[in-house]
Amino acid sequence: MKLKSAKRWFEWHKWTSLICTLFMLMLCITGLPLIFHHELDAVLEKEVVAQVPPGAHKMSLDSLAVIAGKQYPTNNIRYIFWDEDDKNKIVFDLAPKPDAPPEQSKYAMLNVYTGELLDKPTTDGIMDVILKIHMNMFLGIPGKLFLGLMGILFVIAIVTGAVLYGRIMKKYDFGMVRKYKSKRLQWLDTHNLIGIVTLTWGSVVGLTGIINCMSDVVLALWQQGQLKEMVAPYAQQQPLTGKLSSLDEAMVVAQQAAPHMEPRIVTYPGTMFSSKHHYAVFMRGNTALTARLLMPALVDAKTGKLTDARRMPWYVNTLFLSEPLHFGDYGGMPLKIIWAVFDTAMIIVLITGLYLWFARRKASRLQWTRLSEKITADEEEY
């Protein structure tokens, strides 16, 4: 690698790193507890158990919806979620209107066998706050897109750092730490070594983080693409008014359209994940991988008949798969521990990177001061 080329790579690595380091440090620190968010939620929040009476049968979805609606009489149901860890629980999202922002949502968790109100979950717990900081720093879509930009700079810093390390290793043994040199060089070697060890992990987490930051863009593409095609016959019709068709019938229709899948989410007409005329029943697979992928079945909320059911396009599936991979949520506790170790290592890389930059500036200022003093002394002697 020629000197000019090496300097160019170094400048790219230095400035991309400097711009994104503080934000990446924040993401790594907040991301550490989020790796174990399921386990921490169980400790920090009171776990509510849905008791199943002997011989009990699941209540109809329509009956459960009536009970949930009574908890917040001024709101309307817009989403229904099945609890991922306890199939005996179901959560209703209620808001003043279908397109209200998430902050206006109220929640009701019910026992699917008895209709008992188990809890009214909120989104202001400690883990929810950490997640919001990690996702968008409480700045909404602009904050999310900004962090996506920082993620792009982070990936560039990783690539340029790998190129520079490859050049260094032509002169030294791989993984060397020059303990006999200055403290700054020791930290530089440590920074480089840990950086190259975490290269693959950092690239995966960085790229999946960028994809997750584009979730609103992906949603808009899906709305204007596949969803628009699925509801095209209803484009000229007026929005539904009056009583909607049965939720239970919609579930039966959706199950028939996807017999080997199970429901994950139901969205009401007028929400961002449906049209103004349909229930959207999002079905998921029953394996570790397919459970992350959703297939929407659109059911006419007036007639109860299936309008369309399609698998999501590739860019939406990429988003679905990247989110759990970003937090190491695929391989159970062993993978989470590995993710936590690499996350901690990346924190060290970021901190040592900042230290090296400040130390280099300090050394440069000291060198300049000494040179100035020497020039002054020479002039006085002359």
Global confidence as pTM: 0.87
Please report the pLDDT score of residue 270 as a whole number. Answer: 92
Give Cα separations from 111 to 38, 76, 80, 321 (angstroms).
20, 19, 13, 30
pLDDT of residue 350: 94
According to the model, what pLDDT value does residue 4 have?
67
Q: Counting Cβ atoms within 10 Å, is residue 132 exposed (0-12), middle (13-18) or buried (19+)?
A: middle
Q: How far apart are CA 185 and CA 190, in angstroms?
A: 8
Q: pLDDT tens per residue, the chain (382 residues)? A: 555 677 888 889 989 999 999 999 999 999 999 999 888 887 777 778 888 888 889 999 999 999 999 999 999 999 999 877 788 899 999 999 998 888 899 999 999 999 999 988 887 788 889 999 999 999 999 999 999 999 999 999 999 998 888 877 777 666 667 777 777 778 888 888 888 899 999 999 999 999 999 999 999 999 999 999 999 999 888 888 778 999 999 999 999 999 989 999 999 999 999 999 999 999 998 877 788 889 999 999 999 999 999 999 999 999 999 988 999 887 789 999 999 999 999 999 999 989 888 877 776 665 555 545 444 544 444 4
- Alpha carbon distance 267, 279 (integer Å): 6
Q: Is 69 exposed, middle or buried (0-12, 13-18, 19+ CB in 10 A)?
A: middle
* CA gap 258, 261 in Å, rounded: 6
Contact 10, 164 (CB under 8 A): yes
Q: Tell me the two tokens of residue 195.
A: 């950086």
User: Quick one: pLDDT at residue 369?
Assistant: 55
Beta carbons of 329 and 34 less than 8 angstroms apart: no
Q: How far is CA 31 from CA 332, 361, 363, in A?
A: 17, 30, 34
pLDDT of res. 365:
60
How far, in Å, CA of 254 to CA of 3, rounded?
63
Instruction: Spell out the domain ranges in the chain.
Output: 3-40+136-212+332-381, 46-124
* Confidence at residue 367, expressed as pLDDT on a 0 to 100 scale: 58
